[in-house]
Structure formats: C-alpha cells, structure tokens
Structure 1
Amino acid sequence: MKKPFSKKSKDPEESISKKEEFEETSIVDSDYNRKKLFKKGINLMADEKLEDAIVVFEQALRIDPNNVETLMKLGYARFHIDDHGEALKIYDRILDIDVTNPEAWNLKGLVHYEQKNYSKALDSVEKAIESDPTYGMAWYNKACFLSLLNQVPESLEALKRSIEIDVKNARKSIRDKDFANVRIEEGFKRIQEVVVLESIRQGYHTLGAIVWTTFLDKADAESALRKLLEKGLIIQNEKRDGLSKIPIYDLAPNIAEKMGKEKKGLFGITKKRLPKPVKNLKELSQAIQSVREAIEEEDVDKTIEIFDEFIDPSKSGEQMIENFFDEHREIRLWKIRLKDRGQDYLIENKDKMLVLFDNVEVTITKKLRNEIS
C-alpha cells in the first residue's frame, strides 16, 4: 500500500494519471458523496440512532433531492420515531417521482395502519399490489387490514395469496393479533394445517415440538393434526418415552416424495434429504445454458419461454420443486414480473437471475459427478 506522505513519483505522467484518477472518483462521480452519506445513515439506523440517521439522509438529499433510495430510508426512519406526518410526506414525494413504486405504497399503508386509519391503509396496499401483483408482504398487509375492517372472506383470500407467494407468511399469521376476526373461520384452520405440515416436513414429529415451532395453541395443533391424518397427508406412529408411548407424526410417503423432508441432525442442524434420485440432470443443465444466454441478451420473450422449462411439471418443473424449491418459486415470480414490466425489469434484475442459475448449475454439476462416480 502506498504511504500517504511518500515521495512524489519521478515520472510526471504517473502523477497526472493519479490526479485524473482522484478527480474521476471525487468529481466526475457526482453521486460519490451521496453514497457516502447514505451508507453512514444506514449504519446509524443499524445502531438505532434514528435521529442522527435522519440528519444524514437529509444531507444526502441536498445533493440529490429526488433519490428514491435515500427518500425511502428517510421515510422509514421518520416512521420509526412515530413522525407519521413527515413519513407520509416523504412517501408522497417518492410517488410523485414514481407512482408505481410498490414499496412506497406499502409503507404508506403501514403509516395509515399505525394511525388506525384502516380504510386508507387498505387503499395504499391495493395500489402496491396493482404495481406488483407478486408482492407477498403487501398481500399479507392487505389481509390484516381487511380483517380489521371485518371483511373476513376477503381477508382470508388475501392471506392465502400471500402464503402462495411466501409460505413463511402462514406461520407469521398464527400469532398476529390483526387476524382475531378470522381465526375461528374454517379457511384459517386450513392455514394452520399448512403450518403444521411444514413443521413436520422440517423434522418436528411430536406434538410438543410442533406447538413450539409453530406458536399454535395445543388444541389448534391437535385439531390440525387430526385433519391432516383424515386427509391422508400425514401418518401417525408411536415411540417409547420411558414407560409410556407418545405419538409421532410424519409425512405420508407420497407427500414426502413431493415435498422432500428435512431431517434434524446433531445439535439440531437440518440436513436435507432429497425425496428421490435426480433425473435428467443434463437436460436441466442445458436449459440453464439457454436461459443464461437469453438473460444476457436481454431478450424478454425468450427468457419467459425458457423459464417454462423450469416451471412446467411436464418439463423440468418437478425436478426443480424437488431439488430447488426456493429457486423454482423465485423463477415463477420472475416470469410474472417480466410479463408485467418487460425489459426494464429484466435489466434491473439481470445480475440476480444469473447468480441464481449459476448456483443451481454448480449443484447440478456436483450431482452429475456423484452419479458418474
């Protein structure tokens, strides 16, 4: 590393080069200081110094008053110190710049929620969903607001939609006080069944462990287990615990094949057990090569077409669900967003897409080597 006070270079061209390099980073890159302030503000927020973070974000906005990234964090900080009026003004500024920004609409909805203005909160999250129909958190918040407005069937439909996008929302809903109006409904009971089924898949086989991991009441967990047994989705056995026997639950064999199972190992570390041998890995690898080319060429129609290779069960969809469940869901969401937003969305998310397919290909390559050996 060059020392700060070392002798000047004897080569005048090198000195000019260093000067130009400095000017390029500090002058030509006009966003340099804003980025520096933005990062400082983020660090202050992480340390829960919200008032200080607000001052820094406002300094950054003097450099670029319309920077959405900075405005979003400023609004978030204002919201968390209960300065709801200023937070709303900031989100409105963002929407003046980009009226289709789903995050700004969703956050605006949360401000109205804190003010107990549930009708306005609902209106905001519906606009977030209009901008991005796959925004799972906006669907979840819509379900909460509808429940608070006592629109029970609509609340359940929105909650189911949020769970389809992200299954973690099922578990989150169990203890959410906003769902007090819908908790007795049969539709919510089915959501409890989903949560119990997922807990069993993760390797929790006794009633106590299921209650502990799902936050369900014991009676609700027992009810969900009975329903799952009646539907043939799980099976019940017994294991000896001292002088007594306790029931244990596991996925039915056909369900285990579809979902895969996670087995708890030493120290509670989860070990994934694939449901059946991976087939047609070479075809899947070839599809990755094709989709990578389409993404790099920024060809929306071709990318959407090849995405079907990873989604359609008659092609490689079943393999993706069994071996790359999260990646399959991500690709499915990308396809929807590409249809809605087109090339702009592809360009914005190009790097993320390529990284996902690179990671899948690495795993496939390892599996191919294991099969060959």
Structure 2
Amino acid sequence: FPINEEYVRQESLDVCAKELDDYIELTRQQRKYEWCRIKSLLDDERLPVEQKASLLVRKAFLDRKFQHNEEAILACDEALKIQANNYEVWNNKGVALKNLERYEQAVAAYEKALEIKPDYYYAWNNKGDALRNLERYEQAIVAYEKALEIKPDYHYAWRNKGIALFYLERYEQAIAAYEKALEIKPDYHYAWKNKGIALFCLERYEQAITTFEKALEIKPDYHYAWSCKGNTFLQLKLYQQAIAAYEKALEIKPDYHYAWSGKGNTFLQLKLYQQAIAAYEKALEIKPNREYFISNLGLIKYEMGKIDEAIKNWEAAIKINNQFVEPQLAIGVALYKKGEISAGLTMAETVLKLDKSWGNLQRLKKELWGDKLLADAEKLLENPQIKTLLSQTVEEAKSKEEKMDEDSNSNQL
C-alpha cells in the first residue's frame, strides 16, 4: 500500500505508463493484481488529480474483463468529470454499455470518442459491433471499413466485417473478409470457424469440414467448431462422424445445448427415436424455452405415430414464438392427416402465404422432416386449393421480377 505522497505519484505514473492493450494478454490473476493496485491508488487522497482519469479508465477496462460492466460505467463517468474529452474513456464506456446490451447508448459513446479522435480505429470497430447487434448491418460494414481505412491490418475488423456480410447472406464476400483476417493472423481460430459456417451455408460441406479442422488444429478444445463439424457431417449423412463430433463438443462443454440438439437431429435421421428424445430433453434442460428443440420433439413423436403428442409439442413451440412458421405447417399437415381437412388447409395456407418455400418437399427434408410427415405433407401439397395458392405465389414472384426488370431498363434510358 502507498507509504508517502512520492510513492503514490511514482506508482500511479508506473500504472499509467501501461497501454490498455498491455492488459489484454494478462492472466486473470495478473489482472486481479493490477485492479487491486489501481483501486488502492484511487482510494488514496494523495493521488494527483491529473492522474486520476488515467487510472479510472484502466480500472474500467479491468472491470469489463471481470464482467463488472456497471462498475466500469461508473468509473468512466467519474473519469469524464475530470477529462470530458478522453476518447479512451468514451470507448470503454461504449464497450461496457454494449456488454449490457444497451446498444444505442454504446453507439452514442463511440461517436463521442470519434468526435474527439476520428482516427481511433478501435472505436470504429466497436461502433460496428454495436450496430451489428442492432441488426443495422450495412451501417456496421461502413464502420468496419472506416476502421480498416485507418488500420488495414486490423484482423478483428476484417472478421467483424465478414460477420456483418454473413448476416446479409453475402456469403462469398464474407469468406473474402475472413480470408483477409487470416492473411494477417493465420492462427485466428474464430475466423476459421466463421469461414467454415459461410462455406456450410453455400453447401460446400467438404470445404467447411476442412476449415473447421483448421480451427481445431489451432484450438483443439473449441467446442463450437466441433459442433459445427458435427452439423456438416449431418448434412453429408455421415451420421457416426456427426455423433462423434457432437460428443467431442460435449466433452469440452457439457452444457452446450446446440451439441445436444445436433445429436438429437442425428438420432432422428437414424430413426433412433428414444435416443433422439433423450438428446433433445438434455438440450431443453439447459435451454427450457428453445422453441426449435420443442418443435423437433414433435417431429419425432409424429414418426412414432403419436400425432396428438406431436401437435402438443408444436403448439408449445408456437406459444413461445408465434412467428415460428415450421410447427404451424406441421400442425396443418397433422390435422389434414387426421381428416380435419378444412382446419389443416387453413393452417397450411396461412403459412404458405407468408413463405412459399415451405411448400417445397426438399426444404422440408432439409428441416429434418421424417418419412411419415413428408409423405403426409406431400398429400396436403397436392390438394388443389394448395396447388392453386402455390402457383399464384410463383406467378406473383415472376410478375415482381418482370416489373423490376422494366424499372431497371427504364432507369438506363
């Protein structure tokens, strides 16, 4: 603890000489030591006021690392009373607000940092992250590109730009961004994983597996990559490899609900229904209100001939999320199968008016619908009323495309 005023001054100067980046590589124990050191200085009345703001921003940074985001915001606010134009404080406050999912406020804090220091690429990147969380993906990309104008080798911004492009379903561009990140930092396992997911969405499954394996070479205990690898094996119908990959993910993180769900999906495809139910129930123990898991239990019950139980599962899923289309169509098929023709058609029509892609059996197969449910769905889709509806939606789509072509041609004149 500080002994005299000169000690306090020298100790605080020593702490302030460290850049915030220096704290990133510290272990948790080392961070705890630094936090205690800073806190003892801040509690000492002999601390020179001109050094207090610098110490507060370092405390805020460490508070964030310990997930004490409210405390970090308080430290930032105290620092801003001393130095209102400290861009590092505004940036740290923004990150703490983002961690608390207060994204609009985070954006405002980053913008304050950028008013003070327009070339502060950290704040541009962080602003992009907050905008991405607000699903304002185009604006997020602009922010990431500003960061990259200032620092072209900032691998975090390349990866984050890729994520925003991914959410816009611009998968090839996302891959190009991830590859830029990997040129700069070849051992960046997060970027390898993200690239694999984009390849998966493009149905380039063999390449996706190779990419997930690159992530796992770098970080063998990366449970997310193991689970993604399992998902890819499932699409390739390599079911035993899929199960093995999910089990690796669960060895590392036993409460990883997506890996339990992936196992359930695989057992469903293998028609091992009791094992599938057990896996989904494990997933639901961890995430009780995940509507997708509940809906998939309905898929199993239907294949087991338990139609009424399946309907109850699908109704439960809809109760959690009334925008969830799949169980609504499944109920329509089940009602149609039970002879409740009018109710089944009404339910199916409602869904297909929202999204005609659910009228495609290949889409239903991809969603893991089993043989019995697919066969009954085919019968419903062959109903003249449904066929008319689907043909109308196809014609409407063609009409819209022709109108867009006309508008495009007229704009060129």
TM-score (norm 1): 0.45
Which structure carries more helix by proportion? 2
With CA pairs under 8 Å and 6+ residues apart, which has the higher RCO, 1 or 2?
A: 1
TM-score (norm 2): 0.41
Which structure carries more strand by proportion? 1
